[in-house]
């Protein structure tokens, strides 16, 4: 009788141990699946934020680098809105165009008088949309769109005096 009771006790102990192991395995699997999904969402959100924030930051810095009166404007070239940044290098006038084309923020730097097509501009960063508007002589708004259609925007004011000459 004692032997039967001992076998039954060992069976119960074994079942309890296996059940506990099963619960642990299922919990570990669920935590791994939820963790992977959370990590994937964080990476996706980070990538989207990176695209828009980097594009807008790039534009803001280009404006800061070229901040001189009558040197910054928004124009239309080849039916595309472009940020036009005028400068002088060795007494020769140059224009930099920053624009959105073919799913990317692009830049074209050329000496005035040359009409290179926008398609030869350097791709800077992938974005899913970019709009720009000049609110006044010294105020610009840029809106970048990520792949989900969410928009981020910045408004940039130039600091130069209106009658200051180009650098």
Note the pLDDT tens digit of each residue in 50-103: 788 899 999 999 999 999 878 999 999 999 999 999 999 999 999 999 999 999
- Arithmetic mean of pLDDT over the chain: 86
130, burial (CB in 10 Å: exposed 0-12, middle 13-18, buried 19+): buried
- Phi first, then psi, for residue 57 (nearest 5°) are -65, -40
Domain boundaries, the chain: 1-167
Percent of the residues in the chain that have a pLDDT greater than 70, as a whole number:
89
Asked whether residue 139 carries a pLDDT value surpassing 50, the answer given is yes
pLDDT of residue 47: 72
pTM for this predicted structure:
0.71
Note the pLDDT tens digit of each residue in 32-60: 888 888 888 887 777 767 788 899 999 99
Beta-ladder partners of 74:
83
């Amino acid at each position: 009788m004692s032997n039967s009771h001992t076998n039954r006790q060992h069976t119960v102990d074994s079942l309890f141990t296996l059940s506990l192991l099963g619960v642990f395995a299922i919990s570990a699997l669920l935590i791994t699946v939820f963790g992977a999904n959370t990590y994937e969402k964080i990476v996706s959100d980070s990538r989207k934020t990176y695209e828009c924030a980097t594009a807008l930051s790039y534009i803001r810095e280009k404006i800061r680098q070229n901040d001189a009166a009558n040197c910054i404007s928004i124009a239309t070239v080849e039916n595309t809105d472009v940020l036009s940044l005028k400068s002088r290098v060795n007494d020769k006038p140059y224009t930099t165009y920053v624009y959105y084309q073919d799913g990317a923020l692009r830049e074209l730097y050329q000496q005035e008088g040359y009409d290179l097509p926008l398609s030869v501009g350097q791709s800077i960063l992938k974005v899913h949309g970019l709009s720009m508007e000049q609110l006044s002589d010294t105020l610009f708004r840029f809106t970048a769109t990520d792949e989900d259609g969410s928009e981020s925007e910045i408004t940039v004011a130039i600091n130069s005096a209106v009658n200051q000459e180009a650098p």
